[in-house]
A = this chain, B = another copy of it.
Amino acid sequence: MKAAIFKGPGAVEVGERPEPVIQEPTDAVVRVVLGCVCGSDLWYFRGESPHAAGSIGHEFIGIVEQAGANVRSVRLGDLVVAPFIYSDMTCPHCRNGSTISCPAGGSFGNGTIDGGQGQAVRVPQAGGTLVRVPGSGHSDEVLRSLLALSDVMSTGQHAAVMAGVKEGDTVAVVGDGAVGLCAVLAARRLGAERVIALSRNPARQKVASEFGATDIIEARGDEAVQAVLELTGGTGADAALECVGTGQSIATAAAIARPGSVIGIVGVPHGEVPFTGTFFRNIGWRGGPAPARVYIPGLLDDVLDGTINPGLVFDYETDLDHIADAYRAMDERRAIKSLVRVGGI
Q: Give me the interface of A with B, judged by CB distance under 8 Å.
A: 92-93, 96-98, 100-101, 162, 233, 235, 238, 258-262, 265, 268-269, 273, 275-276, 278-289, 291
Contacts and interface: CB of A to CB of B under 8 A. Distances in A.
Contact of A284 (B233, B275, B286): B286
Nearest to A272: B275
Contact of A288 (B258, B283, B288, B289): B283
A230 to B, nearest CB: 14
B289 A286 contact: no
A269 B260 contact: no
A288 B280 CA distance: 5
Contact of A96 (B93, B258, B276, B285): B258
5 contacts: A96-B260, A96-B261, A260-B291, A282-B288, A286-B286
Nearest to A245: B279
Contacts of A162: 284
A284 B281 contact: no
B283 A284 contact: no
Closest CB pairs A-B (n = 6): A284-B286, A98-B260, A101-B259, A282-B288, A98-B259, A92-B235
Contacts of A268: 279
Contacts of A238: 96
